[in-house]
Chains A and B, each alone.
Chain A
Amino acid sequence: MEKNKKIIYIAEDDVLMIRIYERLFKMSGFEVEIAADGEEAIQKLKSLKEPPSLFILDIMMPKLSGFDVLAFIKQNQVLKNVPVVMFTNLSSEDDAKKSADMGALLYLIKSEYSPKEIVQKIQEVIV
C-alpha cells in the first residue's frame, strides 16, 4: 500500500459491491482493505499492523454480522476510536438505533446515495 494514503477497511460480502468500493475509493485517493465476511474481518483485524482511518461495515454478512465486527472494534483499545460507518441496504430504524448505540458514526443505506455522495460522506468523517 502507498504510504500516507488513508486506509478504508471494508467488510462486505457482495462481490459486485467489493469491486465498486475498490474502484471508487481508489479513484478518490484512498487505499482499501477488504474482508469478505464478518469472521474474516475480525481475523484480519487481529493481525493488522496499524489501524485504518475508517471502517465501512456491511450489516448482513455470512458467519458474523456487521454488528459483531462493530462490537469487536469498540472493545479493542487500538481500534475503538476509528470512525465506523455502517453501510447497508436494510432500512431498519431498529438497526439504525442499534448502530448509534454501539458507537457507529453513520448508518447509510447504500441505494439512497450516489457514489459521489458516499465519497463526500466518507471525507467528512475519516480521520
Chain B
Amino acid sequence: MHKTLERQIRKFLQNPPPSEMNELFEAISTTYAHFDEDRVLTERSFDLSSRELMDITKKIEEKVEIRTREFQQEHARLLALINNFPLGIILIDADNKIVVRNDRVSSILNIEKSNYTLDDLVSYFPAEAGIGRSCSTCLVEQKSAEVKDISIGKKFIRLIITPIFAKGQNQQAVFGSLFIVEDVTEQKIIERSKDEFFSIASHELRTPLTAIKWNASMLRNYYPASGLNGEIGQVIDDIESASARLIRIVNDFLDMSHLEQKKIKLKEETFDLSETISTVIAEFQEVASRKHIVLAVGKMEMIPLITADKDRFRQILVNLIGNAINYTHEGSISVSLRKQGNFAKIYVTDTGVGIPLKNQSLLFRKFQQAGESTLIRDVSQSTGLGLYISKLIVERMGGSIALEESIPGKGSTFSFTLPLARNGL
C-alpha cells in the first residue's frame, strides 16, 4: 500500500480497515503510485524542456545581440549620412513630432527649440508659401510636393515634402513625413547677377553697335551719293550688315537669358494664323528670290482664330523660315498649317541640304548647328541659338517643336504646335 495512503487511513480509522475495503484501498494506492510516476515523468519533462528552452533562449539572445549590433551600425551609418548631408533633413512621425533633424536644418532655418512639432515648422515659414497646404496635399495624395523660392529674411529656401508610408496588404499606411530643406540663396544671387550681367552687357554692346549701324546707314541715305558707289558703297554696306548681325547676336543672348529664367511675359492677342504666316512669307520673298528659291504658302487648313503671343509666334516662324532659306541652295520652301487635336501645327518644309542623322539630336541645344562638322559652321548665318530659343518660346506657350524628317541632300521638315485653347499661356 502506498505509504501516504496507509498513513492517511491510519489517521482516519481507529481500527484496522475491514477486509472489504482492501480492494478499494488497493485501487487508491495504485492511483497514488501512478500519480508518483506521472509526477516524476512531468518533472523529468520539465527538466528537459527547461534545458531546451534555455538553449533556445540563449540562441535567441545571441541572435538579438547580433541584430542589435547590426541595427546600431546601420543606425550609426544612417545618422552619419543624415548629419553630413548637405541638405536639411527633418523626419516627422505620425503624431506630427519632429523625430530627426540634422545639423544643416539648424544652420539653414535657425531652429533652436528642441521639441519642435510640424505646426511649429509650418508657422516658421511665411503664410503665402502655403507650407501647411502642401503638407496636407502630400499626405492625402501620398506624393511629394515641392515649394520653391520661399523668401525668409535674406535667404531663399526650397522645400521638398515627402510622405513616409509602409505598404500593407491592401493599402499604404502613412506614418510620417520627410522634409528636405535647401538653401538656394546663392543660386538666386547668381541668377540675378547673370540677368543683370546680360542686361548691362547687352546695353553696353548695343549702344556702340547702334552708332556703327546708324552711321553706316546715314552715309548711305543722308549724304550725297558721290563717292559712295562701287567699292566704298560695298564697304559701307558691309559695316552696316556686320553691325546688324552683332546686334542680332546680342539680342539672341539676351532673349535666351530671359527665357531660361522665365522672365518673359507672354502677351495675349487674338489673330489669324494663316494670315500671319502669309505676312511672314511675304517678308522673306525678296531674300528667297535672290537665292532663286521658291517660297510658298502650302496647305492651310481652316483653323479658328487663336489667342496667343503673336510676336513670339512670328519669331518662331521667322527662325524656321530663315534657317530653311540659309540651308537651301535651290528648290523650294513651303509653310503649311494643320489642325491636330487641340493644337495648330505648322510645318516648314525645304529642299535644302538636310541634316545627317547623327547630328539631329544636337538641333535644339544651345550653340549647335547641325552641319557636318564644327569646323565648317556657318557662323555668318546664326549664333546657333535660334532653334534653342524657339524651343523655349514654344514650350512656354504650351506647344512643342520638332524635326519631323530630314534627308541629307533632299531637305528637311520642321514643325511646331500651339494649343488652340488659352491654356498655352
**Residue ranges of A at the interface with B (Cβ–Cβ < 8 Å):** 14, 16-17, 20, 23-24, 27, 60, 88-93, 109-112, 114-116
B214 adjacent to A91 (CB under 8 Å): no
Cβ-defined contact, A116 with B221, below 8 A: yes
Contacts between chains A and B (CB distance < 8 A), count: 57
Known contacts A23-B222, A89-B206, A89-B207; decide if A115 and B214 are in contact (CB<8 Å).
Answer: yes
Kindly state the separation between the CA atoms of A115 and B265 in the bound complex, as whole angstroms: 29
| Chain A residues in 8 Å Cβ range of B199 | 90, 92
Q: Are B206 and A24 in contact (CB under 8 A)?
A: no
Q: Which residues of B contact A60 (CB under 8 A)?
A: 203
Main secondary structure of the interface of A (DSSP, over half): helix
Q: Is there contact, CB below 8 Å, between A24 and B202?
A: no
Given contacts A110-B206, A115-B214, contact A24 B222 (CB under 8 A): yes
CB neighbours of B222 from chain A (8 A): 23-24, 27, 115
In the assembled complex, B336 has its CB within 8 A of some CB on chain A: no
B218 and A115 contact, CB distance less than 8 A: yes
Q: Shortest CB–CB separation between residue B192 and chain A, in angstroms?
A: 14
Contact A111:B213 (CB < 8 A) given known A27-B222, A91-B254: yes
- For the complex, count residues of B whose C-beta is within 8 A of A: 23
Contact A114 B210 (CB under 8 A): no
| Residue of B with least CB distance to A58 | B207
Apart from A20-B215, A88-B203, A89-B202, list 14 A-B contacts with CB within 8 A: A14-B211, A16-B207, A16-B208, A20-B211, A23-B218, A23-B222, A89-B210, A90-B199, A90-B202, A111-B206, A111-B251, A114-B217, A115-B218, A115-B221
| Bound Cα distance A92, B264 (Å) | 9
Closest to A114 in B: B217
Which residue among A16, A60, A90, A115 has the maximum number of chain B CB atoms within 10 Å of its CB? A115
In the complex where A89-B207, A90-B203 touch, is A114 in contact with B265 (Cβ < 8 A)?
no
- Name the distance in Å between A33's Cβ and chain B's nearest Cβ: 20
Contact with A along B268-298 (1 / 0, CB 8 A): 0000000000000000000000000000000
Map CB proximity to A onto B213-256 as digits: 1 under 8 Å, 0 otherwise.
11101100110000000000000000000000001001100100
Min CB distance A14 to B, Å, is 5
Name the distance in Å between B261's Cβ and chain A's nearest Cβ: 13
Q: Are B210 and A110 in contact (CB under 8 A)?
A: yes
List A contacts of B264 (CB < 8 A): 93
Minimum CB–CB distance for A13 against chain B, Å: 10
A89 touches B214 (CB 8 A): no
B203 close to A89 (CB less than 8 A): yes
Q: How far is the CA of A23 from the CA of B352 in the complex (A)?
A: 45
B218–A17 contact, CB under 8 A?
no
Of all chain B residues, the one with the shortest Cβ separation from A21 is B214
Known: A90-B199, A114-B214. A17 touches B207 (CB 8 A): yes
Instruction: Determine whether the beta carbon of B211 is less than 8 Å from that of A16.
Output: yes
* CB proximity of A5 to chain B, nearest CB, Å: 17
Task: Chain B residues near A17: list those with CB within 8 A.
Answer: 207, 210-211
Interface centre among A60, A89, A90 (most CB of B within 10 A): A89
- 29 cross-chain CB contacts under 8 A: A16-B211, A17-B210, A17-B211, A20-B214, A20-B218, A23-B222, A24-B218, A24-B222, A27-B222, A88-B203, A89-B202, A89-B203, A89-B206, A89-B207, A89-B210, A90-B199, A90-B203, A91-B251, A92-B199, A93-B263, A109-B206, A111-B209, A114-B213, A115-B214, A115-B217, A115-B218, A115-B221, A115-B222, A116-B221
Task: Provide the residues of chain A in CB contact with B209, threshold 8 Å.
Answer: 111
B348 CB → nearest A CB, Å: 24
Give Cα distance in the complex from A50 to B265, angstroms: 40
- Which of B203, B208, B214 has the most chain A CB atoms inside 10 A of its CB? B214
Among residues 170 to 216 in chain B, which have CB atoms less than 8 Å away from a CB atom of chain A?
199, 202-203, 206-211, 213-215
